[in-house]
């Protein structure tokens, strides 16, 4: 008699039907670190670093999204240049998000990922859903950068103290340097200088 179904060596039925709607217990809870890769970093160090990196991740994801909001909602005569600048900074923040998240995973931790979890964790002020003027957009972005730069410096020093040179390097070379440069690019837009006609100097006026 021929078999109707293929069977594996263990007797399980082999079928082309996908298994949908599957759920199971987590394989690792958030806030823990798993067994160490051979990184020569003790568990308490990896626990502290992954917690701090998750804060930095939540704030970086929030800043990333604030850039996209600004990119879409910007209005005014400088629409085009800011539309492009915001998207450039967004792309750079996307890279940072991935680097931070993967650093957390390689240290044995669990990266934050979903918007609701990020919203509960971030220290960056929530903007309204509606559109805001350019100076307000710029101020919000700079304020978000300030939060990230502050925590980056603190985290880099702590990583160095604990001997986690990889985290120190990531935070200084990638996160801090990128954020500092983006702060400069944004801040120069908030300097009030004449657009077409130079202001007359008092010396010239007095002559
Ligand atoms: Fe776009």
Per-residue three-class SS string for the chain: CCCCCEECCCCCEECCCCCCCCCCCCCCCCCCCCCCCCCCCCHHHHHHHHHHHHHHHHHHHHHHHHHHHHHHHCCCCCHHHHHHHHHHHHHHHHHHHHHHHHHHHHCCCCCCCCHHHHHHHCCCCCCCCCCCCHHHHHHHHHHHHHHHHHHHHHHHHHHHHHCCHHHHHHHHHHHHHHHHHHHHHHHHHHCCCCCCCCCCCHHHHHC
What confidence score (pLDDT) does residue 163 get?
98
Per run of 10 residues, the mean pLDDT along the chain (length 207 residues) is 65 88 97 90 97 99 99 97 98 99 98 98 98 98 98 98 98 98 98 93 59
For residue 135, report the distance from its CA to the centre of ligand 1, in Å: 20
What confidence score (pLDDT) does residue 203 get?
60
For residue 17, report the distance from its CA to the centre of ligand 1, in Å: 40
What confidence score (pLDDT) does residue 207 get?
45
Q: What is the pTM of this model?
A: 0.91
For residue 87, report the distance from its CA to the centre of ligand 1, in Å: 7
């Amino acid at each position: 008699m021929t078999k109707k179904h293929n069977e594996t060596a263990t007797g399980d039925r082999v079928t082309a039907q996908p298994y949908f709607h599957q759920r199971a217990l987590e394989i690792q809870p958030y806030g823990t670190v798993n067994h160490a890769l051979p990184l020569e970093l003790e568990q308490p160090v990896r626990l502290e670093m992954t917690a701090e990196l998750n804060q930095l991740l939540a704030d970086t994801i929030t800043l990333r999204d604030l850039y996209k909001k600004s990119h879409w909602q910007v209005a005014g005569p400088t629409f085009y240049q800011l539309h492009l600048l915001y998207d450039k900074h967004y792309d750079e923040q996307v890279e940072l998000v991935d680097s931070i998240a993967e650093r957390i995973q390689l240290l044995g931790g669990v990266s934050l990922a979903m918007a609701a979890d990020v919203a509960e964790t971030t220290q960056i002020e929530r903007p309204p859903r509606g559109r805001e003027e350019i100076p307000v957009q710029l101020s919000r972005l700079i304020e978000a950068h300030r939060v990230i730069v502050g925590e980056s410096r603190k985290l880099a020093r702590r990583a160095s103290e604990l001997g986690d040179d990889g985290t120190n390097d990531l935070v200084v070379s990638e996160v801090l340097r990128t954020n500092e440069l983006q702060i400069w690019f944004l801040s120069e837009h908030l300097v009030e200088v004449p657009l077409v006609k130079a202001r007359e100097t008092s010396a010239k006026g007095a002559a």
